[in-house]
Chain A
Amino acid sequence: MIGEFERTFGAVLEKKTLGKKKVLYALRVRQEDFPKMVRFLLSMPTVRLFTMVGTDERPFEDAFSVTYWFADWREGEILGIRLYVPEDNPEYPSVASFHKGALWFEREVKDLLGLYAKGLPDPRRLILSDDWPEDEFPLREDFEYYSSPLSERKPQYLPKIEGTSVHAIGPYHIALDEPAHFRLFVRGEEIVGVDYRGFYSHRGIEKLARGRMNYNQVCFIAERVCGICGFCHSTAYAQAVEEAAKIEVPDRARYIRTILLEVERLHSHLLWIGVAAHLTGFDTAFMRVWEVREKVMQLAERLTGNRKTYGLVVVGGVRRDLLDYRVSMIEKFLKEIKKEFDRVVDFLLSARSFVERCRGVGVLTKELAREWDANGPVARASGIDYDVRRDFPYAAYPELSFDIPVYTEGDVLARAMVRIDEVRESLSLIEQAIDAMPSGPIMAGFNEIPGGVEGISAVEAPRGENVHYVMTEDSNVIYRWRIKAATYNNLQTAPDMLRGYTIADAPLIIASIDPCYSCTERIQVMDVGRWEPCP
């Protein structure tokens, strides 16, 4: 990807190399060429829009910047194109006008930084609440973290489709235990259109990390972005900083990270399988699967001291070592989990009524999955063979062998099967990692992290790719930190998955992407007593 791109457009660009196979180009002149470049990149079959970062670079560039990051998952290359957007004319050409996957990125930048994408198909508010004033942009440097301006409440729902009634799922719904508001336009029981409003739990965690915390504290707040794939977030963040500061992580730390990443995947997938069973009224399978999940949490507790939110990752390695005498205990746990999991999956799939509910429901075609940049199990169930662990290797994955299950049906059952297969792969990965675990230090030694360097890194979370981008500042703080969770892309496919099915299928279809609203919206935990962010 990088070679071809440079041959075609290299002349107008300023190049900066971030790492092996990671390049950033700045486009300072001829912004009108930008859509052409993006079209060129996305026309390659294995290139996807990875993330997009808007930054207030006024203190040193005298302009805002938006950076589109692309990833070629066959070559393992990452390429960024940066546009500078002046304050007096905050406009740039839209990518969403021809590539759906960019829609939320551009809406987000509009909300948080006040930069407008010319030609944005859906310019409604995405992140900020309905009563936030029009001219306040919280991610700008001159906006105070603690100010919370108010204005009149103006909800921007899509107009109702003629001849339908609105069936609301959320903001709080029994089948959706997180705040998300789906407005289903239904004719009888059939869904003909969908409107989504989310980001009720956006709390500006990226703003919080800006200048208020040092780079190591951010690891812990990153872990609290999500209650389920938190470790993936802290790992992705730490990897981004390590890449920016050129820190080499010791082997043992890489293996420890791998083990815990896979323990987390086990937990997440088991949780999801249980929830899927519950949503179809199959509570026996739900309870039995969660019994296995309980074992995984016990294992995590014995390894890290915490059932969830392990708090182990720091920049440069991990905080605590896994003790060698634990090895036999882990092996015992794995054996039990494997046995019980096989039994429980047999039981689940032997219930015809459950399989009937999942088969042929919520189909996402490969083309749509590509357009929305779906990732993780959602993409793999639609025939896209992409997994960050193999394609952008990190931690100890390059040294371990594992299969990546890919199904082509694109329905709920395929997504369930991907996760079921991945549980088995995770069990084998943990075993391999324990066998091959090297000895040695668990922390890298390094000096002060330089300012103005950038890093981008991804981790295959249970739900898909978590991409973290970091730009540092002097005195060990972070200037810009951008989190993109897997659900950010996958959730956007939900309306396309829901259309044409019934309201009976809706909770299952929504759940089948394993949505994580807190990841997508980037929350942080508040200490209610003091009403301040918890440290």
Chain B
Amino acid sequence: MNLVIPLIIPFITPILDGIARKVRAKIQDRIGPPVLQTWYDFISLFGMESIDASGSLTFRLAPYLAFGSAMAMLFLLPYGDSSPFGFKGDLIAFIYFFALFSAVVVLSGMSVESSYTMAGASREITLSLVFKPAFAVVVALFALKSGSLSIEEITHSLHLAPSVIGAYALLIYITYVEAGFIPYDIAEAETEILGGVLSEYSGRALAVFLWAFQIKRFAMIWLLSSMIVLPFVGGVKALIAQFLTALTIFILMVVYESMNARHRLDIAVRKGIKALAAGCILLILAFFGW
């Protein structure tokens, strides 16, 4: 049963995006498109030819590689009682695919000769350089505190301590950043660099890429919701609780997003460095038993 869930989720993420559009519209006093609009967009994009802007294999493969990494992230996460492909050290694998996703995005941007995609790629690299280590530090703290490298075991053996609470706060922040919400959608800034790496994609490839972004966003939020729910709830109820928590987090993030303007890269980097420093301090605290 749990094996099927990661396969269902990709079909839900466009609906979540539709809900985000509705929520945003509500905040902005608009009616907004139907909840299924993202699906309609995908269906029409899938029917369109995708133009190969660079002629390179990297460019053509990138959307599918990104989709693959996002799916791999999903498969490593726990759903209710168990994670379908969980193993000792799946946390490392999760971080690996998480980083691979960004690497693919960067490579696809570099494979076209366009200043927009190049700018998008370079922004993605810069952000990754500060936020990925920060994420790794948080994860290391959880591993240290629970003595495990498996996501499922961590969630079951975490005990609240000052450093763990701090790590939770950081995890929420980093999830928000990595989910690519404004003010951190810098690498895909539409009004500045026309969507960054996405600007040269069209048709099917664009749909796959966009879908991959949504799945990755969902995976990040699911990880956060698992960390919040699973230490306290078990059994079948856990899955429902996970989903409801993820949905709540998602909507709260959308609301926060619509109250903000986009950061400039240097400001985001400065915040990332602060997060990284905070993570390191927490890790040291955890090391000394706090």
Contacts and interface: CB of A to CB of B under 8 A. Distances in A.
Interface of A: 165-168, 173-175, 186, 188-189, 277-285, 287-288, 291, 351, 353-354, 356-357, 502-507
A189 B265 contact: yes
A279 B260 contact: no
Nearest to B126: A189
A107 to B, nearest CB: 28
Interface in B232-290: 258-265, 267
Interface residues of B, number: 30
A357 B122 contact: no
A354 B116 CA distance: 23
A351 B260 contact: yes
Contact of B192 (A175, A284, A353): A175
Interface string B163-202: 0000000000000000000110110011111100000000
A507 B193 CA distance: 10
B29 interface: yes
A284 B28 CA distance: 5
A189 B59 CA distance: 23
Given A282-B182, A282-B260, A354-B261, 17 more contacts: A173-B194, A175-B192, A189-B119, A280-B261, A281-B185, A281-B191, A282-B262, A283-B28, A284-B24, A287-B30, A351-B261, A353-B261, A354-B260, A356-B263, A357-B261, A507-B191, A507-B192
Contacts of A507: 191-192
Contacts of A357: 261-264
Q: Which of A165, A168, A280 has the most CB of B within 10 A?
A: A280
A241 to B, nearest CB: 41
B51 interface: no
B105 to A, nearest CB: 17
Nearest to A358: B261
Contacts of B123: 189
B261 A186 contact: no
Nearest to A356: B267
B117 to A, nearest CB: 12
A519 B182 CA distance: 34
Contacts of B194: 173-174
B29 A283 contact: no
A168 B123 CA distance: 18
Contact of A281 (B27, B189, B267): B189
A291 B192 contact: no
Contacts of B56: none
Nearest to B194: A174
Contacts of B119: 167, 189, 503
A502 B115 contact: no
A284 B262 contact: no
